[in-house]
Amino acid sequence: MRLIFLGPPGAGKGTQAKLLTERYGIPQLSTGDMLRSAVAQGSEVGKRAKAVMDAGQLVSDEIVNEIVSDRIEAPDCAKGFILDGYPRTVPQAIALDRMLEQKGMKLDAVIELKVDEGALVRRMENRVAETVAAGGNVRSDDNPEAFRRRLEEYRAKTAPLSAHYAGTGQLKTVDGMADVDTVSAEIEKILA
């Protein structure tokens, strides 16, 4: 099972992807998590990505395409994977199409979580409050200003992906404003 999740930051892509990893035994590949771990390790990629990420902007297509191309060949991806936060631009989607074709892989579905953007800032603030209350670390781009910038990047560069995947006939849309269980049940229906 090879899936892509689309939707603005805070739409619940990560939450839904995690639920599916348990159900299907396939990994969730979050380019955001991979980049944060590169930053934490202080690798070359991490050094190049940190400032861009903190400003809520997008890391270059070249960097993320290479990270994903390597990662989807790892043994734990043999049964499939869930891409969360990639592709994020039309050129990334085109690169992914080409990459999958070269590797003899096919996508099963592209699931878009539709949400009311006004509610997203509140969700982000709640997520930060919950993380702090649980004694966890808050992401350095989880502040209202960087979040707004991420939403702008989404509208300008990622929202056009819906049309790309509608064109290929792979796009499935789910109401991401419903509670976690309802969204998850809707996704199950699509995948059944």
Q: Is 114 a catalytic residue?
A: no
In the range 121-180, which residues lie near ligand AMP by CB under 6 A? 141, 150
Subset of residues 84 to 103 that bind ligand AMP, contact rule: CB under 6 A = 85-86, 88, 92
> Catalytic: which of 2, 50, 88, 157?
88
Nearest distance from C-beta of residue 31 to ligand AMP, angstroms = 3
User: What part of residues 56-75 is at the interface with ligand AMP (CB under 6 A)?
Assistant: 56-59, 64
- Residue 150 a catalytic site member: yes
Chain residue at closest Cβ approach to ligand AMP: 32
Q: What is the three-state SS of the chain? A: CEEEEECCCCCCHHHHHHHHHHHHCCCEEEHHHHHHHHHHHCCHHHHHHHHHHHCCCCCCHHHHHHHHHHHCCCHHHCCCEEEECCCCCHHHHHHHHHHHHHCCCCCCEEEEEECCHHHHHHHHHHHHHHHHHCCCCCCCCCCHHHHHHHHHHHHHHHCHHHHHHHHCCCEEEEECCCCHHHHHHHHHHHHC
Q: Total residues at the site for ligand AMP (CB under 6 A)?
A: 18
133 annotated ligand binder: no
Residue 49 Cβ vs ligand AMP, minimum distance, rounded to whole Å: 7
Q: Is 29 in the site for ligand AMP (CB under 6 A)?
A: no
- Residue 10 beta carbon to ligand AMP: minimum distance, rounded to whole angstroms: 8
Residues in the site for ligand AMP, rule: CB under 6 A? 9, 30-32, 35, 52-53, 56-59, 64, 85-86, 88, 92, 141, 150
